[in-house]
Amino acid sequence: MRASWEALHASLGQSVRTLEAERQFNEVKQRHGALRRFEDPASLLDHLHRKATGADLDEKDAIYGALVRAVQAGRAGATLASSLIWLGLWPALDAIFRRRARLYPKRPEELISDLGDCLTDVVESIDFSRVKRITATLVWSTERDVVDGCRRTWEENAAREELPDDSPLGAVDPVEPKDPPPRSRFGLKGDLPDEDEVAIIRARLLPIVGDDVDLVIGAAIYGQSQRQLGERLGLTHEAARKRFQRALERLRRHLGRR
């Protein structure tokens, strides 16, 4: 599966290095001011792959916003704009690919297809009036939709599948049931998939810590640093640190009142 993923990256890279791609890029950047400073697709990608700090985040959001609008417009250059979004976000998409590969143990090639479909849907449906950080929205929404799609597939398969009469499970000696898992302090069932638990925890925390809930989830559950979370959410490291500390203080006050 990894070879297919890398082959996709190579194919996308070749597609934006042609003379036709440069011609289309010149047309697209005339319609979108955020792209005009870049000579060709390669220079744009070099800029997107530099580490973002401070005001750079605003500029990168403007670039991705222009590319998304080019895709949504469906005019000449829309396919090129889509490829540039893929390549620009590739480090983040690759991280999703590695994180979520375990969800596809029996159908690994489908992860590539699902990830592509989810990113395409997010790009085509993003509502600029409701989004503050374009880059973070593209990445987080894509990963969320991949996980949600997997969960729906599991549920549909579970509803359809029946245990055959001649199943080898029937010949297995009965096993004494294990002790039930300890009851979660969040009131969660012990047999829930981890993503379901995260969704429930997020719903419980949202009224307490508000918009900072993803900082708490990212740090406490996924083990990300405040710097990494800041980059994903379009915040400086200092802003992420302050908001995370504020969220923890709200949580402590809430627990102290109980």
pLDDT in tens, 1-11: 688 999 999 99
Give the pLDDT of residue 194. Answer: 55
Judge whether 45 and 15 are in contact, CB under 8 Å: no
Least Cα distance to 70 among 97, 96, 41, 93 occurs for 41
Give the pLDDT of residue 87. Answer: 96
Residue 36 has pLDDT above 50, yes or no: yes
Name the pLDDT band for 41 (thresholds 50, 70, 90): very high
Give the pLDDT of residue 191. Answer: 44
Give the pLDDT of residue 239. Answer: 81
Give the pLDDT of residue 254. Answer: 80
Residue 157 has pLDDT above 70, yes or no: no
* Domains present along the chain, CATH in parentheses: 2-152 (no CATH), 184-258 (1.10.10)
- Pick from 34-48, 93-107, 223-237: least confident: 223-237
Choose between 88 and 206: higher pLDDT.
88
Contacts of 29-35 with CB under 8 Å at 24 or more apart are 31/70, 31/75, 32/66, 32/67, 32/69, 32/70, 33/66, 34/59, 34/62, 34/63, 34/65, 34/66, 35/63, 35/66, 35/67
Q: Please count the CA atoms within 13 angstroms of the CA of 60 that sit on its side-chain side.
A: 27
Give the pLDDT of residue 119. Answer: 95
Name the pLDDT band for 152 (thresholds 50, 70, 90): confident
Name the pLDDT band for 190 (thresholds 50, 70, 90): very low
Q: Please count the CA atoms within 13 angstroms of the CA of 67 that sit on its side-chain side.
A: 28
